[in-house]
Copies of this chain bind each other. A is one copy, B any other.
Amino acid sequence: MSPYDPSAFPPFAVTVDLVVLTVRRHALCALAVRRGEPPFQGRWALPGGFVRADEDLSAAAARELVEETGLCAHDPDSPVQANGAHLEQLATYGDPKRDPRMRVVSVAHLALAPDLPAPRPGGDAHSARWAPVEALLHQGGYGREGEQAAPLAFDHAQILADGVERARSKIEYSSLATAFCPPEFTVGELRRVYEAVWGVALDPRNFHRKVTGTPGFLVPTGGTTTRQGGRPAQLFRAGGATLLNPPMLRPDA
């Protein structure tokens, strides 16, 4: 067969789904939207949508991110911009039965964002919220208001689990944890990011030595914080280094 005969290959729908992670109140949270239509009507799902005819995959992901959160994705090569989130491709899911209606291949992306005031319910989503990943992943967990959480729609639980695992491993050997922080942050805030993502407690003294001793990870801005209780902390910005060598190892793992 000619591989270029338009009738010789099956047509697919291609979507992007987003795993948008942030740290809120010491917990790793993901953005979830409630589905307004069948299948899985009323169930929580990851935000996403169809890739347009003349749109790159990363552009589609960035567009969905803006629609859902108002966040601008910045690519790693450009300088950090305000309100920017890290965005990268995660994996592609194409089980023939993952969508009961038709053949859909979804290119999942992972976004890491600082804590946002509130999920913006604009765009397609009828309602959106931040939910702790544990509650979303473990069927039978309870949401914030106490309602029983049903499993995520489609294969989104698997996608979310893969995204969380990617984030957990990637902050080990890269400076990506700063993507969870505002433009200026303290060592303690960065440590609480690691603790929330990994779900462990870290020694503040060893953590401080490690991150301040890694060249290019943090650059002091000169300012300090006045915060409730405790000695004021030095403020830092993310440095130019993207890879941590040696890595920040999580306990046990």
Is A131 in contact with chain B by the CB < 8 A criterion? no
A16-71 contacts to B (CB < 8 Å): 37, 49-57
CB pairs A–B below 8 angstroms (25 shown): A2-B37, A3-B124, A9-B13, A10-B52, A10-B53, A11-B11, A12-B51, A14-B14, A14-B105, A51-B105, A53-B96, A53-B103, A54-B96, A55-B96, A56-B94, A56-B96, A57-B92, A57-B105, A89-B92, A92-B107, A94-B107, A105-B105, A105-B107, A245-B253, A246-B249
Is A165 in contact with chain B by the CB < 8 A criterion? no
Is A231 in contact with chain B by the CB < 8 A criterion? no
Question: Known interface pairs A4-B101, A105-B107. Does A95 touch B12 (Cβ–Cβ under 8 Å)?
Answer: no
Contact B57 A14 (CB under 8 A): no
Q: List, in ascending order, chain B residues with CB within 8 A of A91's CB.
A: 89
Is A102 in contact with chain B by the CB < 8 A criterion? yes
Most chain B CB atoms below 10 A, which of A54, A94, A96: A94
The distance in angstroms between the C-alpha atoms of A4 and B95, with both chains bound, is 18
Cβ-neighbour of A4 out of B10, B37, B249 (below 8 A): B37
In the complex, what residue of chain B is closest to A93 when comparing beta carbons?
B57
The distance in angstroms between the C-alpha atoms of A51 and B51, with both chains bound, is 18
Most chain B CB atoms below 10 A, which of A51, A92, A105: A92
Is A229 in contact with chain B by the CB < 8 A criterion? no
Total interface residues in chain A, CB < 8 Å: 38
Q: List, in ascending order, chain B residues with CB within 8 A of A105's CB.
A: 12, 14, 51, 57, 105, 107
Q: List, in ascending order, chain B residues with CB within 8 A of A50's CB.
A: 3, 8-10
Q: How far is the CB of A84 from chain B (nearest CB, A)?
A: 22
Is A146 in contact with chain B by the CB < 8 A criterion? no
Question: Known interface pairs A2-B37, A3-B50, A4-B101. Does A57 touch B94 (Cβ–Cβ under 8 Å)?
Answer: yes
Q: How far is the CB of A111 from chain B (nearest CB, A)?
A: 16
Contact A94 B12 (CB under 8 A): no
Is A6 in contact with chain B by the CB < 8 A criterion? yes
In the complex, what residue of chain B is closest to A105 when comparing beta carbons?
B14
Q: List, in ascending order, chain B residues with CB within 8 A of A245's CB.
A: 253
The distance in angstroms between the C-alpha atoms of A50 and B103, with both chains bound, is 14
The distance in angstroms between the C-alpha atoms of A53 and B37, with both chains bound, is 25
Q: List, in ascending order, chain B residues with CB within 8 A of A6's CB.
A: 102
Contact B14 A94 (CB under 8 A): yes
